[in-house]
Amino acid sequence: MNQDDDAPTRNPNMKVSDQPLKKLTAELQHVGIAADHGGFELKQFLAGKLREAGFAVTDFGDSQLKSDDDYPDFIIPLARAVAARTMDRGIGICGSGVGASIAANKVAGVRAGLIDENFSAHQGVEDDDLNLICFGGLLVGHALAWELTQTFLAARFKGAERFRRRLAKVAQLENPTPVKAP
């Protein structure tokens, strides 16, 4: 197989939901989570499941259900913590997940993706070093969100040269070279 083949290393439908998370908590200790009103209930559920599994969870809000809150107020602080590496990984939730993903990706060093199936939950980390997963709280059920969260947390960046090269091109967009005046 050619080194540039992007074939997945495992079955794309593989699930980790039945595997114990004890090994993961030794490697990934701190998980940040944030949501607006559209994702509040799912955030509460996932935070509880993560704590039960032994993760240190930092909740970036909202701390209570408020129908007029705004996702950037919670997602941006979470994204900044992930970029600063004070959180090992992050989970951002809004009604559709789209706004959370857009807001998180405005923070340099964050690679967020809106995920609703297993293949992207692990492949996004393995190939693209995804560090913040986004969900639509009004679209993804509890069981699926928990399964995807476990898959996301279990995955590791492969670090192959082709993946690093691609990420370097993306990182250049975060720190553009100033244009010199004529």
C-alpha to C-alpha distance for 167 and 165, rounded to whole angstroms:
6
Question: Quick check: is 94 catalytic?
Answer: yes
160: number of Cβ within 10 Å? 14
Distant-in-sequence, close-in-space partners of 142: CB < 8 Å, separation ≥ 6: 42, 45
| Residue 135 φ then ψ, to 5° | -130, 150
CB 26 within 8 A of CB 61: no
For residue 50 the two structure tokens come to 């993560």
C-alpha to C-alpha distance for 150 and 162, rounded to whole angstroms:
26
CB 148 within 8 A of CB 140: yes
Longest dimension (CA), the chain: 61
DSSP H or E run through 100: helix 98-104
Catalytic one of 94, 103, 134, 145: 94
**Active site residues per annotation:** 94
